[in-house]
Amino acid sequence: MKKIYDLTLPLTTDIPVFPGQPPLSLLPWSDLKIHGSATNAFFMVEHTGTHLDVPAHFIEGGRTVEEIPLERFWGEALVLDVSSYLGRGELRLPDLERVLGEKDIKEGDIVLFYSGVDKLLGKPEYFAQGVFLTEEVAKFLIDKKVKGVGTDSPSIDSQPFAVHRLLLAREIIIYESLTNLRELRSKRIIFVGFPLKLKGCTGSPIRAVAICG
């Protein structure tokens, strides 16, 4: 029997957003008793909560969400436990090799990093203590020909976002602010993270799930 794990943060009006970005606004629009149907209107940046990044986010002329083939947004994934590096800053290539051990990254894999930072959601440390990938790690993953990289951190790297540029230039999809990866540590799973079909957008909120068992 296959089990489905929800890897998605709830979208609420108090969900943390990157400094300088507007918070999510969720407004009742129509009332069931008054209008005959109930609806809500919402406003948020594409990269709020659990979301993905596509090339247009950092690459001039890069493809936008609706231009990426759907098969890029799901597939076999390897979940790596990097929680021992939480608070240390960067994850370097020797660190990654140590975490991998005997495990192998295959061509076409989606590699997901569990740091445990999601337990700090709502605290200032959530944005500061993520396990950020280095350029050498990004190049290693590019050489492995992965098709996606994900993390429970709100970003896979920090300013000046060189890792974003390296991966997105090769159309490697980036998944950020995942959650509930703890139970999946060191496992191979099927990962699904389809975006909304937002024309011209540089990213999208997703309902990320893992299927395993």
Rounded CA-CA distance 92/132 in Å is 9
pLDDT at 130: 87
The 3-state DSSP class for residue 128 equals: helix
Residue 1, pLDDT > 90, answer no
Give the CA count within 13 Å in the CB-facing half-sphere of 45: 16
pLDDT at 87: 87
Rounded CA-CA distance 10/85 in Å is 26
pLDDT at 144: 98
pLDDT-derived band at 95, boundaries 50, 70, 90:
very high
User: Can you read off the two tokens belonging to residue 204?
Assistant: 């999208």
pLDDT-derived band at 142, boundaries 50, 70, 90:
very high
Could you tell me the CA-to-CA distances from 195 to 72, 125, 128, 198 in Å, in that order?
11, 27, 26, 8
> For the purposes of burial, counting CB atoms within 10 Å of the CB of 11, is it exposed (0-12), middle (13-18) or buried (19 or more)?
middle
Amino acid found at 59: I
pLDDT at 89: 84
Percent of residues, the chain, with pLDDT higher than 90: 94
Which residue's entry shows tokens 């990866």?
A: 181
Q: 59 and 172 in contact (C-beta within 8 Å)? A: no
pLDDT at 124: 86
Compute the residue count for the chain: 213
The 3-state DSSP class for residue 35 equals: helix
The 3-state DSSP class for residue 176 equals: strand
Per residue in 115-136, pLDDT (tens digit) is: 999 999 999 899 988 899 999 9
pLDDT at 213: 79
- Report, as an integer, the average pLDDT of 31-55: 97
pLDDT at 32: 97
* Phi and psi at residue 22, to the nearest 5°: -75, 145
Rounded CA-CA distance 111/188 in Å is 10
